[in-house]
Amino acid sequence: MPPLPNDIPSLVALLKVRGCVLIARMAVWHDELCATIPCGPPSMQADSKMARPEVGRAEAALALAKLAPLGEVECAQIVKAGALQPLVLLMKDGSEEGKVHTAIVLGNLSYNSVERSVQIVNAGALQPLVMLLEEGSEKCKEAAASALGNLAADSEDRS
């Protein structure tokens, strides 16, 4: 485990990001668990957040979307915490809201960062972003276009 940051802003950013990533991972785990066994009492299975883990995943993506524009430290912590893979999965099989939030997070993370743009592409985000651009709702298309624009801008910087 890497050492904790020495300064308070970096430590707060780390804790916020790890909390959001933990929520996203728990939602994915819950989704996998509910696919094999019913979760919660029957009354909760029909209509609740427990029966719809995509809601928790979308909320985690929204939290990350709010953290990413705060600065370089937050963006670096989001990537270090392992958020890219769950975000790519959410773009592939999440709710519309989750897909929009995820595209926003990826766009924010890739903004002015060649290194993070490469990590995002290597995590497999390019194809789902293009799919959102082609087949998603208007909100999905807008968020995907912004993310792809940031990734392309960073690509141009490398040439």
Q: Which domains does the chain have, with CATH numbers?
A: 8-158 (1.25.10.10)
Question: Is the pTM value of this prediction over 0.85?
Answer: no
Query: pLDDT digits over 129-142, tens only?
Result: 999 999 999 999 99
Query: pLDDT digits over 31-50, tens only?
Result: 554 554 444 444 444 443 43
**What gap in Å lies between CA 32 and CA 89, rounded to an integer?**
12
Query: pLDDT digits over 72-115, tens only?
Result: 888 888 888 788 988 898 899 888 998 999 999 999 999 989 99
Neighbours of 2 (CB within 10 A): 6
**What gap in Å lies between CA 43 and CA 16, rounded to an integer?**
33
Task: Place 22 in a pLDDT band, splitting at 50, 70 and 90.
Answer: low
Phi-psi map region of 4: left, alpha, beta (phi>0 left; psi -120 to 50 alpha): beta
Alpha-helical runs (H) found in the chain: 8-36, 42-46, 53-67, 72-80, 84-93, 96-110, 114-122, 126-135, 138-158
